[in-house]
Structure 1
Amino acid sequence: MDTGLFYEPRPNGVERLPTALQMFHTTPRLMRADHWHAQVEVNYVVRGWAHYHMAGHEARFEAGDFALFWGGQPHRLDDASEDLVYAGGHLPLVHFFRLRLPADVQARLMQGATLLSNATDAADPVNFERWVNYARSGDPMKASLAVDELLLRIERLRFSPYRLLPETGPVSDDGGLDQHTSPIVVRICDFIADNFREEIDSVDIAVAADIHPKYAMTVFKKSTGMTLNDYINLMRLSYAQALLMRDETSVLAVAMDSGFGSLSAFNKAFRKISGTSPSDFRREVRGRPIVADGGYN
């Protein structure tokens, strides 16, 4: 693939809008650096192949492969065929937790695993193209149908052969989500999505979800592998990442606008996920060629 142009986020891209459902059908650009976003990513390779560097493992997707992974783990598309075309979407956790997946699969995904299946057929490229068109139509009914149909397609993966990468031993099933806890997690995610740039804590979240704060923390940790504070910070860091990549505002202004109470807290959280400081990250990405709209999104 031509490496003369690299991925750059758009103002309304997946990092800047971590709570939005986004669908794509495109030829993506390679990435020079990892990125992350607070959605589960769905990839279907229409043509060619793609190679990802994930947090802790490598993954290669071939034509006809269906893949699912948690975008909150730093990852990058670092190699691909010249003819690569892929389709898919970025699912906010409010949608992901509507899925009826096996508990071990859900747990492994949230811990950074990649689900990969080649049990696809000729209907998949047609369906993905329709879902993208529906999601981008501006018609709320069509957008809702696109989400529902995509979720059903993902759920069908459990009835076909699939792999979890890296291929380690199975994760113990500690109960996973059930019909009682899933709506609670969705309510928690909804509240955080609407308020992550504000000063919020477990009490605020619990009140919004109509549960006890301790129960809110327990259910969320069991379901996602993250603490409430981890998830709030991830949402803020996803938003901040996009500001650093594109905007000219100071690092301090980015920290404040993203919901961090201090520059030191922002620097510590950013270095934890990226391995570098916000300033160094900005210098690195500003050295990349700018890509016109229409690249990976």
Structure 2
Amino acid sequence: MAESKISRTYYVPEANGVERLPTALSMFHTSPAIMRAPHWHAQVEVNYISRGWAHYNMSGHEVTFTEGDLALFWGGLPHWLDDASDDLIYAGGHLPLVHFFRLRLPSDVQARLMQGATLVTQATDGADPINFARWHLYTRSGDPMKASLAVDELLLRIERIRFSPYSLLPDSRPVADAGGLDHHASPIVVRICEYIADNFREDIDSVDIAVAADVHPKYAMTVFKKSTGMTLNDYINLMRLSYAQAMLMHDDASVLAIAMESGFGSLSAFNKSFRKVAGMSPSDFRRDVRGRPAVQMAVQSAPDRPYN
């Protein structure tokens, strides 16, 4: 990867950024800063490269997006924008699973993305940079109608990917999908995701979730696992970990207090879950993040207002 000709600026998550708001749909249009380390969040990320190029370290593979590329990947696995051209401008959004599972995508695409694959298409045109810029402005306008239209148009744009050539990277990753979502299962997964989004910081279990989704607990567990590759507990923990990650970056509360605030029943459960995703303890993560030297922030657009 080429070295930048100018001094690097680095990404510093905001106190109310995507990590802290795992249930929010947010959009962006910016010149991003390089990341010093991987992060994760409980949304599917959409990137459209308006100018330049971006290199990501994903979970298990690397990928470079170039001008005109439209890409999707699951943000619940650690990923890292570790290099980019000095002129990079990208746009896109973070889609909670309640939106992602409303998309009419091929079942193998949904399954592969949830397993860590990256979808990339170069079948874009001159309307895309204009549309992504408008959707970003609409979601930040404060007008609920404009925000709703922006979300609807973005989802329709993503659905159109199926009609053009696209790649799922890495190509060698097998598709663990036994038939994919059907018309009956998809609304159930959406109801499950909605309930977990509203209640992940509470003490909830499969029975609570099944009652909310109006299905049997065993069926709720089966259909969610088949659709996402995760158990219900995996997804609840991911929502909690995303929220806790942001608190560790910004709040001065103790690790125990953060564990409780995020919905974990004990410090040991929090530590175990956090190590599984981050590869280190919450205390080491906080020390690593806060121990980095201060850096100049990149000039970016005003903070996005999340749209639920």
- TM-score (ref. length: structure 1): 0.96
CA offset digits 1:137-192 (Å, max 9, x no partner): 11111111111111111111111111111011652652211221111111100000
What is the match of residue 163 of structure 2?
159
- Structure 1: distance between partners of 2:151 and 2:184: 22
Aligned partners of 2:245, 2:176: CA distance in 1, in Å? Answer: 34
- Structure 1: give runs of 5+ residues left out of the alignment: none
Question: Cα distance, 1:5 vs. partner?
Answer: 2.8
Match of 2:289 among 275, 285, 288: 285
* Maintained 8 Å contact 2:45/2:95: yes
One-letter amino acid matched to 1:7: Y
Q: After the TM superposition, which residues 68-217 of structure 1 pair with which residues of structure 2 at under 5 Å, given as runs? A: 68-168=72-172, 171=175, 173-217=177-221
Matched residue, 2:27: 23
Please give the alpha-carbon distance, in whole angstroms, between the structure 2 residues aligned to 1:119 and 1:176: 25
Distance in 1, matches of 2:32 and 2:298, equals 12
Displacement of 1:294: 3.5
Supply the distance in 1 between the matched residues of 2:126 and 2:199 (Cα, whole angstroms).
Answer: 41
After superposition, give the CA deviation of every residue in 1:94-114 in whole Å (9 maximum; x if it has no partner). 000010111111100000000
Which is worse superposed, 262-271 or 139-148?
A: 139-148
Aligned-pair distance for 1:287? Answer: 2.3
Distance 1:12 1:202 in 2: 29
Which residue matches 1:249? 253
Letter in 2 for 1:167: D
How many residue pairs match? The answer is 297
Per-residue CA deviation, residues 58-92 of structure 1 (Å, 9 max, x unaligned), is 01000000000000010010000000000000000
Partner residue, 1:5: 9
CA distance in 2, matches of 1:247, 1:4: 26
Kept in 2, the 8 Å contact 1:37–1:72? The answer is: yes
Deviation of the 1:3 alpha carbon:
5.5
Please state if 1:269 is matched with 2:273. Answer: yes
- The residue that corresponds to 1:223 in the other structure is 227
Match of 2:239 in 1: 235
Task: Tell me which amino acid in the other structure corresponds to 2:164.
Answer: S
> Per the alignment, in what secondary structure is the counterpart of residue 235 of structure 1?
helix
Q: Any stretches of 5+ residues in structure 2 without a counterpart?
A: none
How much is the aligned-residue C-alpha RMSD, in angstroms? 1.5
